Amino acid sequence: MPTATASHQPTVTSRPSTYPASTSVQVNANELFCALRLNIPASPELERELFTTRRVAEGETVFRAGDEFHCLYVTRSGFFKSVLFDETGTEKVLRFAIKNDLLGADGLASGRYPSEVIALEASEVIIVPFARLAALTRTCAGLENGLYSLLSRELVADQGLLYVMAALNAEGRVAAFLLNLAERYGALGYARNAFVLRMTRQEIGSYLGLKLETVSRAFSAFDSAGLIKVNLKHIDIVDAVGLRRAMHEPVLRASRQAASTERRATRSFDRLNPLGGGTQPATA
Amino acid sequence: MPTATASHQPTVTSRPSTYPASTSVQVNANELFCALRLNIPASPELERELFTTRRVAEGETVFRAGDEFHCLYVTRSGFFKSVLFDETGTEKVLRFAIKNDLLGADGLASGRYPSEVIALEASEVIIVPFARLAALTRTCAGLENGLYSLLSRELVADQGLLYVMAALNAEGRVAAFLLNLAERYGALGYARNAFVLRMTRQEIGSYLGLKLETVSRAFSAFDSAGLIKVNLKHIDIVDAVGLRRAMHEPVLRASRQAASTERRATRSFDRLNPLGGGTQPATA
DNA sequence: CGGTAAATTGATCTTATTCAAACAGCGTGG
DNA sequence: CCACGCTGTTTGAATAAGATCAATTTACCG
């Protein structure tokens, strides 16, 4: 349970005192829409439309469940989890957010955030006061539709996860999770086949509806089958095609030593994103 | 696999030839927004803004996966399932829709519907061409926000289901499912404690990530515990509080004969909606 | 250097799935 | 009208998958 206090007025940038005030960057609307993969033509007016960014320390919340909704947040760097609490206070991870993901859209419905977003490493978000965004809608052609499709995208992503949870077994879900993460990193220009998990096994389990031990076992199984290499938080995807196959059929447990000899990693990552994507660019 | 062909131009009402053309009702925007529980002040202009309805026979699709997105649909009567197909053609139920639910919002993101909606009984939908709705947004104050919050509501509903699937065991999920349905019927003014399931056990299982036998067993367990009475598709909720308890803890298997004597059904249905709701009116 | 949190692995137990059989409704056609 | 077949439901017994409990190892942080 992180103890960080998140005071976030729409217009004022609040941050841990360790960061100098000067580092709080302004982002203009052009960049923002571009980051969100919205096809809004760049314009000088949008360049003048500035949004504040906010640093979020590891363990700190971006917003809390129950807070009044005022802003959307677009992640600029770092890693986040979005969680829901039940009446007993136990949390369920709804989503992991990386760069350029949208957060807080679920607060629009009721005027309060039902979920809560917590940074899993030192991160940065763009604060997007919803009223200002809505106002921009009226001056900026195409933004309106962009905003709708942005929300719809979230919907599709959640449906993808629903599919994974209902249709796939433990190994399948973990495989889908890894491929999704790989794809999202790839879409940002980072390496698709090697990354560091920012979350614990428990958080992955919560996300996928599994226990932490089950997640760990799936990782080990994939490793000894030569599909990935696991070293705690470090993941190397060795055989993405095999991993995709593992979504639907049990993994053939290769003998452990085989890992070092079989180094002929198939690497066609195209069309390989199983979960709807944290927030993917609209591939039906 | 239903063979119905769904041709649905935005403006023209298409229907199976069995229905006389005269029965196709027009609905004005006031009614529409009211049905969607949007707080849009009624106005004479909105009264003139008419939307076409369409009858959908049992087994017929409202729209198909892959169809171009043009319209949202608001259910006016009947019962629907929204399903997603995987590459092997097996379907996963994403949602059940009853009266006044929104359908098709997931098509906004990509311009094509990723999912497909099928009527489970003779039903009726209001066809809402999205372009017209978006146009209305500019003339009708408050509609814009209403539309955003409508999409957000869907998001919250999906998150509720994600929670149920990840956090609850088989009986818990089935209990949550029943309570959700009860609550939604209640919100429409129908009986909360007695209803007819329009879908099969298999479809419920698909929705909840369970096998049909498991769903059936859960029903039987609740029945013999005196929480509900099951007769195939007919469900009576006898003890809603007990059912809610059953979400989180295993049901104490009462002896079967107890069912007839214990008729002191607790009936406080308030604050009892476990799943986010098919599309609920924004209770954080 | 010690203490804590996370991860791995094994053994056991519980739960849901699978396989199978029987049964109940329902519509169809004789 | 009844017989028939079809689909959906229920129930049981065996199996498999994942959860639970527990012990050990490893990294990380002060």
Torsion of CA B226, B232, B237, B240, to 10 degrees: 70
Q: Which two structure tokens, joined as six digits, stand for A106? A: 């679920």
For residue range A101-119, what is the model confidence (pLDDT) as tens digits?
A: 999 999 999 999 999 999 9
Reported as a pLDDT band with limits 50, 70 and 90, residue B23 is low
Q: Where are the beta strands (DSSP E) in B106-183?
A: 116-119, 123-129
Reported as a pLDDT band with limits 50, 70 and 90, residue A24 is confident
Could you give the CA distance from residue A58 to residue A46 in angstroms, rounded to a whole number?
Answer: 32
Q: What mean pLDDT is predicted for residues B220-240? A: 97
Given CB atoms, is B110 within the 8 Å cutoff of chain A?
A: yes
Which residue reads 């979020």 in tokens?
Answer: A56
Could you give the CA distance from residue A10 to residue A1 in angstroms, rounded to a whole number?
Answer: 25
Look at the alpha carbons of B180, B182, B184, B187 in this order and tell me if their dihedral is positive or negative. negative
Reported as a pLDDT band with limits 50, 70 and 90, residue B6 is very low
All residues of chain A having their beta carbon less than 8 Å from the beta carbon of residue B103 are none
pLDDT at B73 exceeding the cut of 60: yes
Of residues A86, A99, A93, A100, the one with CA closest to residue A117 = A93
Reported as a pLDDT band with limits 50, 70 and 90, residue B261 is very low
Residue B203, nucleotide of least CA–C1' distance: D8
Q: Cα-flanking dihedrals φ and ψ of residue A97, to 5°?
A: -115, 135
Q: What mean pLDDT is predicted for residues A76-84? A: 98
Q: What is the pLDDT of residue B236?
A: 98
All residues of chain A having their beta carbon less than 8 Å from the beta carbon of residue B137 are 144
Among chain B residues 232-261, those with CB within 7 Å of any atom of strand D: 232-233
Question: Between chains, do A159 and B106 touch, taking CB under 8 Å as contact?
Answer: yes
Q: Which two structure tokens, joined as six digits, stand for B255? A: 């002896």
Which DSSP letter does residue B69 get? P
| Angle value at C-alpha A205, between A228 and A114, nearest 5 degrees | 130
Residue of A151, A156, A162 lying closest to B152 (CB–CB):
A151
Question: Between chains, do A109 and B84 touch, taking CB under 8 Å as contact?
Answer: no
Q: What is the pLDDT of residue A8?
A: 38
Reported as a pLDDT band with limits 50, 70 and 90, residue B13 is very low
Q: What is the pLDDT of residue B141?
A: 85
Reported as a pLDDT band with limits 50, 70 and 90, residue B254 is low
Question: Of all helices (H) and strands (E), which one includes residue B132?
Answer: helix B130-139
Instruction: Report the range of poorest mean pLDDT among A129-133, A253-257, A261-265, B269-273.
Output: A261-265
Question: Between chains, do A167 and B209 touch, taking CB under 8 Å as contact?
Answer: yes
Q: What is the pLDDT of residue B274?
A: 63
Q: Chain B: nearest CA to A95, how far in angstroms?
A: 10
Q: What mean pLDDT is predicted for residues B118-132? A: 97
Asked if B56 and B100 count as a contact pair (C-beta separation under 8 A), the reply is no
Could you give the CA distance from residue B46 to residue B224 in angstroms, rounded to a whole number?
Answer: 52
Q: Is the CB of A13 under 7 A from strand C?
A: no
Residues facing residue B186 across a β-bridge? none
pLDDT at B25 exceeding the cut of 70: yes
Q: What is the pLDDT of residue B24?
A: 75
Could you give the CA distance from residue A93 to residue A86 in angstroms, rounded to a whole number?
Answer: 11
Strand, helix or coil for residue A283: coil
Q: What is the pLDDT of residue B223?
A: 98
For residue range B94-117, what is the model confidence (pLDDT) as tens digits?
A: 999 999 999 999 999 999 999 999
Work out the angle between the directed axes of helices A212-224 and A170-187 (0-180°, nearest 10).
80
Residues facing residue B84 across a β-bridge? B92
Question: Between chains, do B106 and A207 touch, taking CB under 8 Å as contact?
Answer: no
Nearest CA in chain B to A206: B166
Could you give the CA distance from residue B16 to residue B279 in angstroms, rounded to a whole number?
Answer: 28
Instruction: Report the range of poorest mean pLDDT among A167-171, B183-187, B195-199, B261-265.
Output: B261-265
Q: What is the pLDDT of residue A254?
A: 63
What percentage of residues in chain A have a pLDDT greater than 90? 79
For residue range A226-282, what is the model confidence (pLDDT) as tens digits?
A: 999 999 999 999 999 999 999 999 998 765 444 433 333 333 444 446 675 545 444
Which residue reads 């290499």 in tokens?
Answer: A229
Interface test mutation site (partner B, options A159, A174, A273, A280, max chain B beta carbons within 10 A): A159
Could you give the CA distance from residue A90 to residue B145 in angstroms, rounded to a whole number?
Answer: 32
Q: What is the pLDDT of residue A5?
A: 39
Residue of B106, B137, B209 lying closest to A156 (CB–CB):
B106
Residues in B 60-99 with any Cβ partner in A closer than 8 A: 66, 84, 86, 90, 92, 94
Reported as a pLDDT band with limits 50, 70 and 90, residue B168 is very high
For residue range A145-202, what is the model confidence (pLDDT) as tens digits?
A: 999 999 999 999 999 999 999 999 999 999 999 999 999 999 999 999 999 999 999 9
Q: Which two structure tokens, joined as six digits, stand for B21? A: 């053309």
Query: What mean pLDDT, rounded, does chain B reach?
Result: 87
Q: What is the pLDDT of residue A9?
A: 37
Of residues A131, A107, A128, the one with CA closest to residue A117 = A107
